[in-house]
Amino acid sequence: MDLLAELSTRLAPLGASAQKMFSGTGFMRNGNLVIGTQRDGLIVRVGKVDEAKAAKLPGASVMEMRGRKMPGWIIVAPEGCKSEAQIKRWLEIALAFNNTLPPKAAKATKKVAIKPKR
C-alpha cells in the first residue's frame, strides 16, 4: 500500500493540502499540521491529552527531536501503519485533535519590489 496516496485520498475531501516537510510530506488542514509521512512511517499530531493512549498503539512512540520529547506528537513505525484500518485509526486521532485547534491565518506572501533595469 502507498501510504502517501492513502493519506492524500482520505484527506483531500477534508480540505487538507500536502506540503513537503520532515523529510517526507505533511498534511495541513486549517493551517495546522494533521499528519505526515516519515521514511515508511507516520508523524501524528495527537495532542498532549491523548499522547499516552496513542503511544500504546502498535508501532507508536512519543516523538523525539535531538533527544528532546515532543509532547503531543507520535511517531508510528511501519508496522503500525501497514493496513487501511491502522491508517484510518491514526487519521481519526489526528483529525480529532486538529478539530480542537483554531484555524491559522494564511501566511502573507512577502512582496518584493521589482526595480526596472536602467
Contacts with 100 (C-beta within 8 Å, 6 or more apart), sequence order: 47
pLDDT at 65: 87
d(CA 78, CA 42): 8
Which domain CATH number covers 65? 3.90.1150.30
Residue 111 lies in a domain: no
d(CA 23, CA 38): 6
Q: Please report, for the chain, how many H helices and E strands are present, in that order.
A: 3, 6
Confidence of residue 109 (pLDDT cuts 50, 70, 90): very low
pLDDT at 118: 55
Residue 115 pLDDT exceeds 80: no
Instruction: Record the pTM.
Output: 0.84
Residue 114 lies in a domain: no
Q: Which domain holds residue 27?
A: 3-98
Cβ proximity of 64 and 70 under 8 Å:
yes
- pLDDT 10s digits, 36-89: 998 889 999 999 999 999 999 999 999 998 999 999 999 999 999 999 999 999
Mean pLDDT (the chain) is 89
Name the domain count of the chain: 1
pLDDT at 21: 84
- What average pLDDT does this structure show over 103-116? 59
Residue 104 lies in a domain: no
- What average pLDDT does this structure show over 6-27? 91
Residue 58 lies in a domain: yes
Residue 110 lies in a domain: no
Residue 107 lies in a domain: no
Confidence of residue 111 (pLDDT cuts 50, 70, 90): very low
DSSP letter (8 states) at residue 31: T
Residue 26 pLDDT exceeds 70: yes
Residue 33 lies in a domain: yes
